[in-house]
Amino acid sequence: MPNLTHAHRELFRRSADERFASVADLAEHCRCQKAASVDSWHPPQELRLKPIEDSLHLTAGTDGAFALNDWGFTQLCGLARVSKETVNRLLPETASRVFADTLVPYGNKPLQLLTSGERLRSIHGVAYTRLWNLDLINVVREFAVDFQPPQQAATGGTGLYAGEQDMFCFLIDPAGWTEIESQAFAPGFFVWNSEVGKRSLGFSSFWFQAVCQNHIVWDAVEVVEFSRKHTANVHDALADVRRGIDALVAKRDERKDGFVRVIRKAMQESLGTDDEAVEKLLAKEGITRSLAKQALEIARQQGRFTIFSVVDALTRIAQQEGNAGDRLNADQQAAKLLALAG
pLDDT in tens, 31-61: 999 999 999 999 888 888 888 888 889 998 8
Q: Of residues 322 and 330, which shows the higher confidence score?
A: 330
Flag whether 281 is in a domain: yes
Flag whether 299 is in a domain: yes
- Boundaries of domain holding 323: 269-341
What share of the chain in percent tops pLDDT 70? 88
Give dist(CA 176, CA 165) in Å, integer. 32
pLDDT on residue 177: 84
Flag whether 261 is in a domain: no
pLDDT on residue 321: 62
Flag whether 303 is in a domain: yes
- Both 136 and 233 in one domain: the answer is yes
Which range is most confident: 19-28, 149-158, 305-314, 329-338? 19-28
Q: Of residues 117 and 333, which shows the higher confidence score?
A: 117
Flag whether 183 is in a domain: yes
Q: Of residues 89 and 281, which shows the higher confidence score?
A: 89
Which domain-ending residue is among 233, 255, 277?
255
21: which residues sit within 8 A by CB, 6+ positions away? 149, 158, 160
Flag whether 230 is in a domain: yes
Give dist(CA 2, CA 150) in Å, integer. 19
143: which residues sit within 8 A by CB, 6+ positions away? 242, 245, 246, 249
Flag whether 249 is in a domain: yes
40-43-44-48 Cα dihedral, nearest 10 degrees: -60
What's the average model confidence in pLDDT over 270-282?
Answer: 77
pLDDT on residue 181: 62
Q: Which of 10-24, 206-220, 233-247, 326-340 bottoms out in mean pLDDT, i.e. has the lowest?
A: 326-340
Measure Cα distances from 196 to 162, 270, 306 in Å. Answer: 12, 63, 61
pLDDT band at 289 (very low <50, low <70, confident <90, very high): confident
- Both 112 and 177 in one domain: the answer is no
pLDDT on residue 312: 76
Instruction: Give residue-wise pLDDT tens across range 242-252.
Output: 999 999 999 89
Which domain-ending residue is among 224, 255, 286?
255
Cα R_g (the chain), whole angstroms: 29
- Both 140 and 80 in one domain: the answer is no
Which of 195, 189, 147, 130 is CA-nearest to residue 23? 147
What share of the chain in percent tops pLDDT 90? 50
pLDDT band at 330 (very low <50, low <70, confident <90, very high): low
Using the predicted structure, report yes or no on whether residue 253 has a pLDDT greater than 60.
Answer: yes
- Both 146 and 294 in one domain: the answer is no
pLDDT band at 219 (very low <50, low <70, confident <90, very high): confident
User: Given CA atoms 329, 333, 334, 339 in this order, what sign does their dihedral have?
Assistant: positive
Using the predicted structure, report yes or no on whether residue 304 has a pLDDT greater than 80.
Answer: no
Which domain-ending residue is among 225, 255, 285?
255
Flag whether 1 is in a domain: no
Residue 51 DSSP SS3: strand
- Both 68 and 171 in one domain: the answer is no
- Both 116 and 143 in one domain: the answer is no
What's the average model confidence in pLDDT over 249-257?
Answer: 86
Cis previous bond, 239, omega within 30: no
Q: Specify the number of domains making up the chain.
A: 3
Which of 154, 187, 188 is CA-nearest to residue 171? 188
- Both 283 and 316 in one domain: the answer is yes
* 23-35 vs 133-143: helix crossing angle, rounded to 10: 150
300: which residues sit within 8 A by CB, 6+ positions away? none
pLDDT on residue 329: 64
Please give the helix or strand (H or E) that residue 239 lies within, else none.
helix 237-268
Measure Cα distances from 125 to 6, 10, 114, 155, 198 in Å. Answer: 29, 28, 12, 38, 14
Number of neighbouring beta carbons within 10 Å of residue 210: 13
- Both 204 and 302 in one domain: the answer is no
- Both 10 and 102 in one domain: the answer is no
Instruction: Give residue-wise pLDDT tens across range 66-103.
Output: 999 999 999 999 988 899 999 989 898 998 888 888 87
Please give the helix or strand (H or E) that residue 170 lies within, else none.
strand 167-172
pLDDT on residue 319: 65
Q: Which of 66-75, 157-166, 214-223, 297-306 bottoms out in mean pLDDT, i.e. has the lowest?
A: 297-306
- Both 161 and 228 in one domain: the answer is yes
What's the average model confidence in pLDDT over 197-204?
Answer: 95
- Both 76 and 206 in one domain: the answer is no
What's the average model confidence in pLDDT over 329-339?
Answer: 67
- Both 232 and 111 in one domain: the answer is no
> What single-letter amino acid sits at 26?
L
What's the average model confidence in pLDDT over 225-234?
Answer: 94
Give dist(CA 23, CA 138) in Å, integer. 9
pLDDT on residue 140: 97
What's the average model confidence in pLDDT over 288-312?
Answer: 77
Using the predicted structure, report yes or no on whether residue 310 has a pLDDT greater than 70.
Answer: yes
